[in-house]
Structure 1
Amino acid sequence: MRPGFSKGWRNPVSTTLLVIATVAAMFGAAGGYLAARPTINRLRAALADAAWQLTHDPLTGLLNRAGLRTVHTAIAASGGPQPNIVMLIDLDQFKEVNDTHGHDAGDDLLMEVADRLGQLADAYGASVARLSGDEFAAILPIRGHGISRLADLFTTVIAAPVTVQADSGPVTVTVTASVGIASVASTDSLEDVALHRADIAMYHAKQQGGDRHVLYTPGMTMPDRKRRRGPRLRDLRRDQRGSVE
């Protein structure tokens, strides 16, 4: 089981709303709603901001992993199983940009990629998250969309040149992406099924040279680690804990 994600995990938005309701009830009992209203409004705004921070990435403004879980939970609860596409998107040359031009340039690149992914999400009814570092994920309903066409759109918009602010001034950089895709039911586990399968497919895209997408097929396994760039933090956690991320 992923660290920090257990059977006792609660939806952070629901928890925040519960706090708001509890505080409002306390003020109402103590001095009447009208007298307490300004304070309740301030608390509501502060707690809403805290809830946003719990579910969003502070750099890019996209959902974070907790936010993606919240979206997935809502989709799963909205009806019977529906076919969904889950994409795991990993930038191919991000480390080189960071090492060559500095971390500020890397942040500029991440924010621009996030903006582009966000625009695609708005156009196709998707939810996009930054999971960590240079890794993003998207969930969207199939709804007749061609999977290969959608994946091509994601890789194409990422590969467009980006102007970033390096230590020496503005520079234009280009990165590509390796995209792993899994077609799953909306009720499938996000961590153990959807993201896990997309992760396997993404590594196959990476192994094949990047700048491409690979669709997960039944029975697909991780490629030989000797042919990859090296284990990631999530791989080490899986090895240490014996759990699937």
Structure 2
Amino acid sequence: MWIPPEAPSNEIERLEALAQYGILDTARDERYDRIARIAAKAYAADIAFLSFVDAQQQWMKAKTSDVLHDFVARDASVCTLVISSGESLVFEDMRTAPELEGHPLARDMPWRFYASVPIRGEGSNVLGTLCIMRTDPGTPADFELETLLDLAAITSHELSLTLHNTQLREQSNTDSLTGIHNRRKLDEEMPRAIRRSTRTSTPATLLLIDLDHFKEVNDRLGHQAGDDLLARFAAFLQSFPRRPDDVLARFGGEEFALILAGTDEDGGVAVATRIIASLAKTQMPHPARGQLSASIGIAALGAADDKNSWLARADRALYLAKGLGRAALSVA
């Protein structure tokens, strides 16, 4: 009977390493698609795929057939055995393999022969797998794992380049005044948040936060004082992203954005309410209004939303909040 294997002993370190690469829920990438195509051709396989595995799911970064789902629950994945052991794995026939008896998927898939090798990141953590599958059972003549292992090593090299590029991109994605993410980073993260929400069937909510009557700060105290207040406000906001996939960014001028991963509309309202209340307690000075306040537009991600429609709904909600007066919030 199928019993999902326990996570490897270094699971926390492995997940932290995976998060460093920022690769989950990213768009298709020809570098990884190419590796999957080569694997399929080299082994005359019916399908090849390259996947990464987080705490809950296996996500296909590249695959040679759309018959295979984009993601699968980790406990229902054959590849979770590779993540657990850190070793390559071959099944001559997944339908008859004793290790897969009672497996929720293996007996019903059209593929029978299976071969998988681990994909390692820097530090040798197993981040995912490179696999081939064939509809015919039995080990093909002259089969060997060497080519698949070589392709996995190339994948690891591409991951190192990805990590390096991610670190460089972070520098260009940082707002120089406030030290938080900038609009460019927000534009990258919104589609990724949408893909993640689809993959994990979890909600996401966007907050647009605008400082009330901020022009009066610049007009009365000068732009340097305005910049100092913006930096102070950004530092204040940094306590509100709580989850690893939350994203705080300066949207532009005195406007900020906060993507709340795994958070529905009610949760977004709760966070917005805390921001408004905490800002009042902080009592940042405003030269004409006594103290600084902010208005917030809230938009939970809808099933039909893309980046532009999601952002437009949050912007409309912010416009309505501004119309209510200072320290207000509105929901799209």
TM-score range, shorter chain: 0.5 to 0.7
Match of 2:202 among 73, 82, 98: 82
Aligned to 1:199: 315
Q: For residues 100 and 49 of structure 1, do their structure 2 counterparts lie closer, same or farther at Cα, with a shift above 3 Å needed?
A: farther
Aligned pairs for 1:53-202 within 5 A: 53-78=171-196, 79-122=199-242, 126-143=246-263, 146-159=267-280, 160-162=282-284, 174-185=291-302, 188-190=305-307, 192-202=308-318
Please give the root-mean-square deviation of Cα atoms over the aligned residues, in Å. Answer: 3.3
Partner SS, residue 178 of structure 1: strand
Q: Deviations over 1:147-181 (max 9, x none)?
A: 332111121233332269x9xxxxx9621111110
CA distance in 2, matches of 1:136, 1:142: 20
Is contact 2:260–2:268 with CA below 8 Å preserved after alignment? no
Contact map agreement 1:124 1:140 (CA 8 A) in 2: no
State TM-score, norm by structure 2: 0.45
Change (3 A) 1:156 1:67: same
Are 1:214 and 2:330 counterparts?
A: yes
In structure 1, list runs of 5 or more residues that go unmatched. 1-12, 19-43, 167-171, 217-245
State the SS of the aligned residue for 1:154. helix
User: Equivalents in 2 of 1:214, 1:116: separation in Å?
Assistant: 21
The structure-2 alpha-carbon separation of the partners of 1:175 and 1:163, relative to structure 1 and needing over 3 Å to count, comes to: closer
The code of the aligned residue for 2:272 comes to A
Equivalent residue of 2:296, what SS? strand
In the aligned structure 2, how far is the partner of 1:211 from the partner of 1:112? Answer: 18
In the TM superposition, what whole-angstrom CA distance separates every residue of 1:190-232 from its partner, at most 9, and x where no partner exists? 2x2111001101111111112110011xxxxxxxxxxxxxxxx
Match for residue 34 of structure 1?
none
Q: Would the aligned equivalents of 1:121 and 1:128 in 2 still touch at CA under 8 Å?
A: yes
Structure 1 residues 146 and 64, CA gap change in structure 2 (3 angstroms): same
Question: Cα distance, 1:185 vs. partner?
Answer: 4.0
CA offsets 1:78-120 (integer angstroms, 9 cap, x no match): 3255311111111102111111111111111101110111111
How far apart are residue 76 of structure 1 and its match? Answer: 3.1
Larger Rg: 2
Give 1:125 shift: 5.7
Cα distance in 2 for partners of 1:112, 1:127 equals: 18
Which whole-Å CA distance do the structure 2 matches of 1:208 and 1:49 have between them? Answer: 41
Deviation >4 Å, runs of 4+: 44-50, 142-145
CA contact (8 A) 2:243 2:261 kept: no
Q: Say if 2:248 and 2:257, in contact at 8 Å, map to a contact too.
A: yes
Change (3 A) 1:141 1:108: same
Question: Hey, what does 1:227 align to over in structure 2?
Answer: none
Mapped contact 2:205–2:263 kept (Cα < 8 A): no
Structure with higher RCO (Cα < 8 A, 6+ apart): 1
Identity of aligned residues (%): 33
**Gapped runs of 5+ residues in structure 2?**
1-25, 32-161
Q: Secondary structure at the match of 2:274?
A: helix
